[in-house]
């Protein structure tokens, strides 16, 4: 008897090819399209409805998913997780920006929406598995273990690092064994309607927007001074929430006779004085940390021994691996780097690996140089 799988279909090429592959492998496939953003339910800082310029693209994505489902002869259902997304992902996203940090909502979106709310909703179809179009793999030998996607350039385990082994127990990643070029070729060879559709970018489910304008809908911008660490004011910022550590674009600081023409980069924030600190030069020492502390540490397999082991870490998606060791003292997890790392940013994720296996990760709390906290 064929096994049943509920697949998250986003209207993109990856989930489209995932549907095709699952059908070819003999599964009974049920498509499920998630809608998690609605302009009519969202309000700006004054309580007014926001203008959602992504409403049309959402409908385009659903129509594309429906065209693929119809071509493959599989049913497609639509479900709203608007309340769950706001409560479990977007509210945290706003709170982190209020704290001057740089959150990664895609990680929480996977934890709370795609692999929790989705799985609970899918249960009505009595599936043997749920599936997603992520570039990742699951090894089932004892507790499920999360492995990098075969295409390391597209690998998405960074965004799956807060999942549990329980959440991965009945998950399939059909494109995880493929490279992106192969996925495109399969789509083209089978005349899937999404074969030449470009990959989506931007915030999970919210899409591509002018980020600063979007954020201004929800948080009041508070302009303030841009200073060097010597205390010299050299410009004005539009609100600390609009900047992240290591950022160059959007500072509005040109060359000067005193400082020359080397570019400036964000190197610190002071919420108490609403000050943005900058330094000159991409490789300025103030931009480099050699350790960080973590909060919300999640180990996909809970009994994994991590302390003192030689592991690898990523502090941003697609960043090269950094050799690290962990120490846990009085409940505080500190990650020590074998070489300094640029722009280690509070609010972002530190994701831990042992070769091909993603062990989990945590949220960067403080960037350190030695044992001293950097002004991030």
All domains in the chain, ordered by first residue: 4-133+174-213 (3.40.50.620), 221-280 (2.30.30.280), 287-373 (2.40.30.10)
Nearest alpha-carbon partner for 103 in 346, 362, 359: 346
Alpha-carbon torsion, ordered 70, 71, 74, 77, to 10 deg: -40
pLDDT the model gives residue 206: 54
Phi, psi of 184 (to 5 degrees): -60, -45
Q: What is the pLDDT of residues 227-245, one digit of tens each?
A: 999 999 999 999 999 999 9
Residue 74 and residue 19 in contact, taking contact as beta carbons nearer than 8 Å: yes
Section 339-347 average pLDDT? 96
**What is this structure's pTM?**
0.90
Residue-wise pLDDT tens digits, 255-312 = 777 888 889 999 999 999 999 999 999 999 999 999 999 999 999 999 889 999 999 9
Computed over every residue of the chain, the mean pLDDT equals: 90
Beta strands 129-131 and 136-140, pairing class = unpaired
**What are the residue numbers of the active site?**
109, 204
What kind and span of H or E run contains 98?
helix 91-98
For residue 241, which of 135, 121, 103, 119 has the smallest C-alpha distance?
103
| pLDDT at site 311 | 97
Whole-number pLDDT of residue 43 = 47
Distances (CA, A) of 322 to 103, 139, 302, 310, 338: 21, 24, 23, 10, 7
Cβ neighbours, 10 Å, residue 334: 18
Angle at 197 between CA 196 and CA 203, to 5 degrees: 155
Q: Say whether 20 sits in a helix, a strand or coil.
A: helix
């Amino acid at each position: 008897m064929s096994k049943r799988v509920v697949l998250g279909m986003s209207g993109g090429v990856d989930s489209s090819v995932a549907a095709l592959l699952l059908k070819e492998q003999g599964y009974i496939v049920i498509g499920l399209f998630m809608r998690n953003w609605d302009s009519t339910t969202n309000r700006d800082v004054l309580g007014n409805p926001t203008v959602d310029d992504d409403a049309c693209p959402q409908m385009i994505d659903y129509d594309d998913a429906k065209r693929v489902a119809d071509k493959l002869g599989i049913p497609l259902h639509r479900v709203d997780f608007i309340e769950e997304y706001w409560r479990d992902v977007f509210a945290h996203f706003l709170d982190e920006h209020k704290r001057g940090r740089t959150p990664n909502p895609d990680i929480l979106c996977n934890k709370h929406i795609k692999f929790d709310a989705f799985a609970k909703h899918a249960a009505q179809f009595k599936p043997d598995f749920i599936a997603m179009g992520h570039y990742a793999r699951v090894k089932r030998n004892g507790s499920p273990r999360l492995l990098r996607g075969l295409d390391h350039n597209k690998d998405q385990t960074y965004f799956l690092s807060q999942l549990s082994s329980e959440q991965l127990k009945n998950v399939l990643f059909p494109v995880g064994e493929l490279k992106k070029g192969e996925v495109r070729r399969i789509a083209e060879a089978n005349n899937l309607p999404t074969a030449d559709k470009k990959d989506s970018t931007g915030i999970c489910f919210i899409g591509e927007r002018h980020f600063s304008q979007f954020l201004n809908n929800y948080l009041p911008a508070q302009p303030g001074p841009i200073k060097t660490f010597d205390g010299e004011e050299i410009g004005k910022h539009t609100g600390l929430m609009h900047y992240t550590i290591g950022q160059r674009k959007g500072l509005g600081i040109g060359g000067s006779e005193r400082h020359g023409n080397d570019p400036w980069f964000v190197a610190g924030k002071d919420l108490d004085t609403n000050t943005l600190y900058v330094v000159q030069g991409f490789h300025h020492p103030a931009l480099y940390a050699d350790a960080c502390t973590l909060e919300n540490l999640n180990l996909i397999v809970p009994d994994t021994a991590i302390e003192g082991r030689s592991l690898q870490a990523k502090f941003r998606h697609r960043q090269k691996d950094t050799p690290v060791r962990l120490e846990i003292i009085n409940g505080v997890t500190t990650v020590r780097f074998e070489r300094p790392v640029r722009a280690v940013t509070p609010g972002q994720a530190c994701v831990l690996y042992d070769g091909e296996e993603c062990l989990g990760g945590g949220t960067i709390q403080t960037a350190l140089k030695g044992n001293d906290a950097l002004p991030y």
